[in-house]
Structure 1
Amino acid sequence: MCFHTSTTHKVKRLESFYKVKLSDESNRISFDKSNYHLNGFAHPNMLIIPQQKSDVLAPAVWGIVPSGKSKSDINPYFKESVKFGSGLNARSEKVFQHFIYRDSIMTKRCVIPVSGFFEPHDQKGKKYPFYITSKSKEPISLAGIYTIIDKVVTFAILTKEASPLFEKIHNKRKRQPVILNIENSHNWLSVDLTESDIQNVLHVEYPEGNLNTYTVSRGLFSPKVDSNVLEILKPVVYEELGLKV
């Protein structure tokens, strides 16, 4: 699963990398601020590239809400759905059957640019967070779907069965987000994709050699620790893990 991300690239860098423009210039200062740790369960605003306007970066709330809800329903829905993961992730295997996902997968797909994301490794009941980022320092493109509730965009990150690398890292759930290369990022937003085309994109394996992975402070998972600080991205070695990835 993917419940924790970081977004440290400036908006201008994202605009250049994806060849898009920020949808509302008044949001630039806010999204230029580095977020070293975004906890999905706080339902932060993040930038996405939506299929319906694939030439822009648009603000969206992390946590997909079913179509048909109103803006006033969003926060109550998040409280109600926390036992189901608060809509932060969507299993790619269910996108054409699930009552929420099937309304979005054909016409409301999105790319979520992040600078990295965190996954937990389980060792004797303790969680050790791994940080995953690009070796090239370029943005990582996560595949997602979204809904529009009144004028509020809400989204989920798509996940799939773990690759060999992520099986070692996320060793309990053995899941990972769907990571897109830049070519598939553009393809993912195409209006011409069939169900078969979408399945093909979801099954493309992102090259593991392009990723840098290392353990960080266990404070990431503590509600008592302010983990949205630069120090949270610094490597921390745990001798008891004995894990090489």
Structure 2
Amino acid sequence: MCFHVSIYHEPEYWEKKFRVKISDDKLKPYFKRPNYHLNGFAHPNMLLIPQEKNDVLAPGVWGIVPSNKSSQEIKAYYKEAVRYGAGLNAQSEKLFQHFLYRESAMIRRCIVPVSGFFEPHEHNKKKYPFYITGKDSQPLVLAGIYSVIDTFITFTILTKAASPLFEKIHNTKKRQPVILDEDQAHNWLDGNLEQEGLRDIIQSEFPESHLETYTVSKDMFSPKVDSNVETIIDKVVYPELASVFQ
């Protein structure tokens, strides 16, 4: 699963990397503020690149909402949908069957750039947060789908069965987000892609050698602590995990 992310790269970085422009320059000050820990259940605004306008960075609300809802119904929907994960993740295996996903699967795909994301590991009935980012702190690109509600974009991040690395980290649910390389990110937004091509992208394994993974402070889990601070992505060593991760 993927419910927590880190986004500290500025909009200008994403514009240059993906050769796009932010949809409204007035949004830049808001997205310039680094967010070292965003909790998906707070339904934050994040920048994404939508299939329908793949030359722009557009703001989207994390948590997909059915397109037949109005903007006034979004908050109520999130409150009701929290039992189903609040629309934060979509199982890629259900992409073409689920009533909410299939509507977006062919025409409303998106890529979600992040600096990194967090996953929980369980050991002796205790949870330890892992931070996952690219080698040398390179950002990552996650596959998503979205809906349009009045003037709002709402989106979800696709997940799939865990790779050997993520199965070791996320050892209870054994899921992971769909991570895309540069070519796959471009192809994910291609309007000519058919179901088979989409499945091929989803099933491709992002090279584990291109990832950096390590444990961080348990403050990440605490609602009583402001964990949206730079130190939350600092490495914290837990001796009790030494035998598990060697």
TM-score normalised according to structure 2 size: 0.98
The structural deviation recorded for 1:229 is 0.2
Which residue does 1:167 correspond to in 2?
167
Which residue does 1:129 correspond to in 2?
129
Where do 5+ consecutive residues of structure 2 fail to align?
Answer: none
Instruction: Tell me, in whole angstroms, the C-alpha distance in 1 between the residues paired with 2:215 and 2:175.
Output: 18
Which residue does 2:79 correspond to in 1?
79
List 4+ stretches of structure 1 deviating above 6 A: none
Which residue does 2:176 correspond to in 1?
176
Instruction: Tell me, in whole angstroms, the C-alpha distance in 2 between the residues paired with 1:234 and 1:85.
Output: 27
Instruction: Tell me, in whole angstroms, the C-alpha distance in 2 between the residues paired with 1:204 and 1:19.
Output: 24
The structural deviation recorded for 1:10 is 1.1
Instruction: Tell me, in whole angstroms, the C-alpha distance in 2 between the residues paired with 1:187 and 1:104.
Output: 16
Instruction: Tell me, in whole angstroms, the C-alpha distance in 2 between the residues paired with 1:188 and 1:213.
Output: 25
The structural deviation recorded for 1:138 is 2.6
Whether the 8 Å contact between 1:91 and 1:160 is mirrored in structure 2 is yes
Pairing 1:221-232 to 2, within 5 Å after superposition: 221-232=221-232
Instruction: Tell me, in whole angstroms, the C-alpha distance in 2 between the residues paired with 1:123 and 1:72.
Output: 42
The structural deviation recorded for 1:136 is 3.6
Letter of the 2:104 counterpart:
S
Instruction: Tell me, in whole angstroms, the C-alpha distance in 2 between the residues paired with 1:137 and 1:236.
Output: 16
Which residue does 1:244 correspond to in 2?
245
The structural deviation recorded for 1:125 is 1.7
Where do 5+ consecutive residues of structure 1 fail to align?
Answer: none
Instruction: Tell me, in whole angstroms, the C-alpha distance in 1 between the residues paired with 2:86 and 2:7.
Output: 20
The structural deviation recorded for 1:124 is 1.8
Which residue does 1:7 correspond to in 2?
7
Which residue does 1:36 correspond to in 2?
36
Question: SS in structure 2 opposite 1:104?
Answer: helix
More deviation, 129-138/202-211: 129-138
Question: SS in structure 1 opposite 2:241?
Answer: coil
Any idea what the Cα deviations from partners look like across 1:8-64, whole Å, max 9, x if unmatched?
101111111111110110000111110000000000000000000000000000000
Instruction: Tell me, in whole angstroms, the C-alpha distance in 1 between the residues paired with 2:136 and 2:229.
Output: 22
Which residue does 1:190 correspond to in 2?
190
How well do the aligned residues superpose, as a CA RMSD in angstroms? 0.8
Does 1:154 find its partner at 2:154? yes
Which residue does 2:199 correspond to in 1?
199
Any idea what the Cα deviations from partners look like across 1:99-152, whole Å, max 9, x if unmatched?
000000000000000000000001122110000001143321000000001111
Instruction: Tell me, in whole angstroms, the C-alpha distance in 2 between the residues paired with 1:225 and 1:63.
Output: 23
Instruction: Tell me, in whole angstroms, the C-alpha distance in 1 between the residues paired with 2:137 and 2:216.
Output: 18
Of all paired residues, the percent bearing the same amino acid is 59
Aligned length: 245
TM-score normalised according to structure 1 size: 0.99
Instruction: Tell me, in whole angstroms, the C-alpha distance in 1 between the residues paired with 2:179 and 2:19.
Output: 19
Letter of the 2:40 counterpart:
G
Which residue does 1:66 correspond to in 2?
66
The structural deviation recorded for 1:75 is 0.2
Whether the 8 Å contact between 1:113 and 1:139 is mirrored in structure 2 is yes
Whether the 8 Å contact between 1:54 and 1:189 is mirrored in structure 2 is yes
Instruction: Tell me, in whole angstroms, the C-alpha distance in 2 between the residues paired with 1:127 and 1:199.
Output: 32
Letter of the 1:199 counterpart:
R
